[in-house]
Structure 1
Amino acid sequence: MTQTMYPDEAMATTFQPVPTARPTKPRGVRRVLVESGYSLSAFPIALVAFIVVLVDLTLGVALSIFIGGVLLIAVGVMVARGFARFERIRLRGMLGRSAPTPTYICAPRDAGFWRRQLTPLRDPQSWLDVVWSLTGLVTGTVAFAVTLAWWAGAAGGLTYWFWQRWLPENPDDTTLAELIGLGEGQRAESWLNLAIGAALLLTLPWVVRLVTTMHASLAWVLLSSRAELQGEVARVEGGRDAARMAEAESLRRLERDIHDGPQQRLVRLTMDLGRAKKQVADDPERAAETLDAALAQARETVAELRSLSRGIAPPLLVDRGLAAALEEMLTQSSVPVTSRIEVPEQLPPHVETAVYFVVAEALTNVAKHSGATGATVSVVADPSGVKVRVEDDGVGGAHPAKGLGLAGLRQRLAAVDGTLEIVSPDGVGTTLVARIPA
């Protein structure tokens, strides 16, 4: 578990849950049996939770004028946390539902006794756990009663023909078959019960699923809904931080490139022009040669500045769109590239910029580090956004930890909620897949 500091909580800490794989939902008959087991076990678990938590909190409130009363309330809250954790395990293990554990506020390790005991009382999720312990009995009772009644009715109706022989007979009794006009005697009653049992058995999966969903949905809302909200907030904060880091890295990289390239050329151009000025009167021919060299330096400087500007905001991307900008980039690649560009004409500007940057950075890495003889670039749109795939036949071994621009690329994609996957076994080549939501 990792700790995140709350700056306004006087060194209070929160414990973030470790993400787990999404559980697998049961299917078919197994699903009916599992959901039935979940519903039948809901009542006894909810009853124990209701009694323990309610009694603990009631005693705590009644004794709140004493020190021990406050401690009893804190104990009741922690007990409710335990029942909540057990219910999340049941949701994941029995129903295969995603039930993440929210972040709880916990006291720091160096906190005093009272700080550790009272911190759970300031946690909103702890009180939602208490609410679940008190209200889960209602839906748990309904789920238990309905499930038990349907199973008992189905089993009793389908087997009534067998065990009715041991029922005492009374000529004065009127059976249900007689009341609805199906006839008299055990045969008519057997057929009626058989029909009722069959009807209950056929509707059993839907009825059990209904009451199970009712109980599980209440549990999810109270026990896990805040976890998704906290995850979304963490994702947004992570994207914001990634955008800041990517922007700062881009500025540093641009400053370094300008200093190492155009700035040095401009310094040399200034020196050449100064030397030519002195040579004009004494040696015109040599002055002309110096001016020609200065003109070449100026052209190279302009070309390098244009190359740097394409990395920031290529004019072609703004003027003619993503497809045209990518086609121009691919024609200038030093490595032969086979491409497939299928993107809509209108995409959000940040998506177009991110796609362009991904392709540019990937081809730069291919040219500088892969030793590849060819590459394939695929940029296609799908319902969720844009998928970029760049493959080469180089030496492989690429990894974001090695630098190569991949770490910065991952940060830039995180800023637009994108993802980056890299498969690069040694000696086989590299496959880079980026997904950018539109």
Structure 2
Amino acid sequence: MAMEYGERTRSGHLARRPLLPPALRAPVEARTWREFGYLLVSLPLSIVMFTYAVTMVALGAGLLVTFLGVPVLAAALAGCRGFGVLERARARGLLRLDVAEPRPVRAAKPGAMAWIGAVLKSGTSWRSLLYAVLHFPWAVFAFTLAVTFWSVGWSLLTYPLWRWVFPMYAGVDGLQLYGSEDGRHTFYLDSTFEIAVTAAVGLLVTLVTPWLIRALTTVDRVMVAGLLGASRLDARVVELESDRGAVVDTAAADLRRIERELHDGAQARLTGLAADLGLAKDKLREDPREAARLVDEAHGEVKLALQELRDLARGIHPAVLTDRGLDAALSALAARCTVPVRVTVDLRERPAPAIEGIAYFTVSELLANVSRHSGARSASVEVWRVEDRLLVQVADDGRGGADPAAGTGLAGLAGRLGAVDGVLDVDSPAGGPTRVTAELPWCG
């Protein structure tokens, strides 16, 4: 029975553990071969990129005295962007580097001139050109260093295996380090000690080479991510576009909720109220007692309809929040919760009204989750300010296990907070307690 090396996991399966430490495994690991292949391919590609970029830019600059210079420069930049696509794909496949795609060229209006203008104005185009120029000298250096160390290391390490080829096929005693023209002063690596030392040196160089290659490819990673990836502005634009979609979806959902509550609640009651008053009017002369009863029921329906409208208005934006701030509004929320809630608000001034409203509805949703899902006996709400951030924390002693990915409403809440550069942190181990912290910009 074959012996397996490893240790048992919690599930009882045997987790395989490598026999060799990382330093000895590195020369034969797939990562090392991928990165070495990346450096090998970099040189011919960088030659093509550099030649294209320098030639086209020089040609375009020379033709700027005529109209042809501008489209030639645009073609140069467009070609460099194309090389950037290739380089990102190569880094993704060989270096396992996932680089965000920059924003595509978008002309303000259709037409060749508009496209040329958009290419020339794009920062991504000029960064791609800079990459094509700077990567060439680095690729020459990295290729030379990597190939030299790789070939020398493996050649010396395997020298005991192939040194006997020389006497058999070349008529020499082994690897010659130096020799004179007259043949009197020559030195061959042919003794057992010399062969062992040669292999030991080869092993040392072979073990060092993977780490050298990783250091070289680290520079490539920085260049690809910094010059060919999305800029901070592009990433911010994409984030804002995503957040805008989340805000629009949230607003649409709120409008549907308000319409549904009006239709099913106050509107239905007011419709019934109109019918009851109509019957009471008809029976006023024939049966005053029945008319009085109907009016009394209608009065009760009016009270219920008013209460539902107040609750709906509170759900849109509570008056107490506008008039008295978060402390009073959150205390009112806590009073309606099904478990005892302790509220602590440590704010010397009020944040922006929009942030104040988001903080209120965040606590409202979190306390609703406490009432419905936590099984808690008590909860707490704390609000405080740290520099230019407003922090809201809701904690409970319930069963825990809250997970934003499990469809508990926390994912939607995190999305709404993200729309205003907010962050939602959920700490809810199984068995509790649960602690949810929302961080919002102050914007006071």
Query: Shared fold (TM-score greater than 0.5)?
Result: yes
SS at match of 1:67: coil
1:19-418 alignment runs, 5 A limit: 29-107=29-107, 110-111=110-111, 113-161=112-160, 162-163=162-163, 165-167=174-176, 169=179, 186-226=191-231, 230-251=234-255, 253-255=257-259, 257-258=261-262, 261-263=265-267, 265-266=269-270, 285-286=289-290, 288-302=292-306, 304-305=308-309, 308=312, 312=316, 317-319=333-335, 320=341, 325-326=368-369, 328=371, 330=372, 345-346=380-381, 380-381=401-402, 386-389=404-407, 414-417=415-418
Q: How many residues align?
A: 338
Q: Distance in 2 between matches of 1:117 and 1:129?
A: 16
Aligned residue for 2:174, secondary structure, equals helix
1:59-99 per-position Cα deviation (integer Å, ceiling 9, x unaligned)? 22123212333333222212212221211111112222212
Contact kept? 2:63, 2:69, Cα under 8 Å: yes
* Contact kept in structure 1, 2:175 and 2:190, CA below 8 Å: no
| Distance (whole Å) between structure 2 residues aligned to residue 436 and residue 110 of structure 1 | 48
Query: Is the contact made by 2:35 and 2:213 (CA closer than 8 Å) also made in structure 1?
Result: yes
Q: Is the 8 A contact 1:146 1:211 kept in 2?
A: no
Distance of 1:238 and 1:158 partners within structure 2: 55
Q: Secondary structure in 2 aligned to 1:416?
A: helix
The match for 2:21 is none
**Separation in structure 2 between the aligned mates of residue 52 and residue 274 of structure 1, nearest angstrom:** 87
Given that 1:242 and 1:412 are in contact with CA atoms closer than 8 Å, whether structure 2 keeps it comes out as no
Residues 84 and 281 from structure 1, CA distance in 2 versus in 1: closer, same or farther, beyond 3 angstroms?
A: closer
Aligned partners of 1:340 and 1:380 also within 8 Å: no
Please give the alpha-carbon distance, in whole angstroms, between the structure 2 residues aligned to 1:342 and 1:105: 57
What CA distance in whole angstroms lies between the structure 1 residues aligned with 2:138 and 2:129? 15
Q: Would you say the 8 A contact 2:179–2:186 is kept in 1? A: no
- Structure 2 CA distance for aligned equivalents of residues 348 and 213 of structure 1: 44
Deviations along 1:193-242, whole A, 9 cap, x unmatched? 2222111111222111110121122122100132x753442232332343
SS at match of 2:68: helix
- Counterpart CA distance in 1 for 2:130 and 2:204 is 37
Structure 2: unaligned runs, 5 residues or longer = 1-25, 164-172, 319-329, 336-340, 342-362, 385-389, 394-398, 420-435, 440-444
Which residue is equivalent to 1:11? none
1:173-192 Cα shifts (integer Å, max 9, x gaps): 6979xxxxxxx984444333
Q: For structure 1, which segment, 192-201 or 130-139, has the greater mean C-alpha deviation from structure 2 after superposition?
A: 192-201
The corresponding residue for 1:19 is none
Preserved contact between residue 417 and residue 437 of structure 1 (Cα < 8 Å):
no
Q: 1:27 to 1:388 in 2, by over 3 A?
A: farther
How far apart, CA to CA, are the structure 2 residues paired with 1:417 and 1:230? 17
Cα pair distance change 1:27/1:234, threshold 3 Å: farther
What is the DSSP-based 3-state SS (H/G/I as helix, E as strand, rest coil) of the residue aligned with 1:104? coil
Secondary structure of residue in 2 paired with 1:102? coil
Q: Name 1:429's counterpart in structure 2.
A: none
Question: AA paired with 1:296?
Answer: G
Q: Distance in 2 between matches of 1:156 and 1:63?
A: 52
Structure 1: stretches of 5+ with no match in the other structure: 1-25, 177-183, 331-337, 354-377, 391-405, 419-434
RMSD over equivalenced CA pairs, Å: 4.8
State the Cα distance separating 1:410 from its structure 2 match: 9.1
How far the C-alpha of 1:270 sits from its partner, in A, is 7.9
Query: For structure 1, which segment, 137-146 or 287-296, has the greater mean C-alpha deviation from structure 2 after superposition?
Result: 287-296
Judging changes above 3 Å, is the alpha-carbon distance between structure 1 residues 233 and 347 closer, same or farther for their aligned structure 2 residues? Answer: farther
Distance 1:300 1:230, change over 3 A: same
Residue 415 of structure 1: CA displacement?
3.1
Q: Distance in 2 between matches of 1:127 and 1:312?
A: 49
SS in structure 2 opposite 1:103? Answer: coil
**Deviation, structure 1 residue 105:** 1.7
* CA distance in 2: counterparts of 1:381 and 1:147, whole angstroms: 50
Distance 1:326 1:199, change over 3 A: same
1:135 positional shift: 0.3
User: Judging changes above 3 Å, is the alpha-carbon distance between structure 1 residues 141 and 263 closer, same or farther for their aligned structure 2 residues?
Assistant: same
Contact 1:80–1:130 (Cα < 8 Å) also in 2 = yes
Query: What TM-score does the superposition give when structure 1 sets the normalisation length?
Result: 0.61
CA–CA distance in structure 2, aligned partners of residues 302 and 33 of structure 1: 74
Quote the sequence identity (%).
Answer: 26
Q: Highest relative contact order (Cα 8 Å, sep 6+), 1 or 2?
A: 1
CA distance in 1, matches of 2:308, 2:192: 98
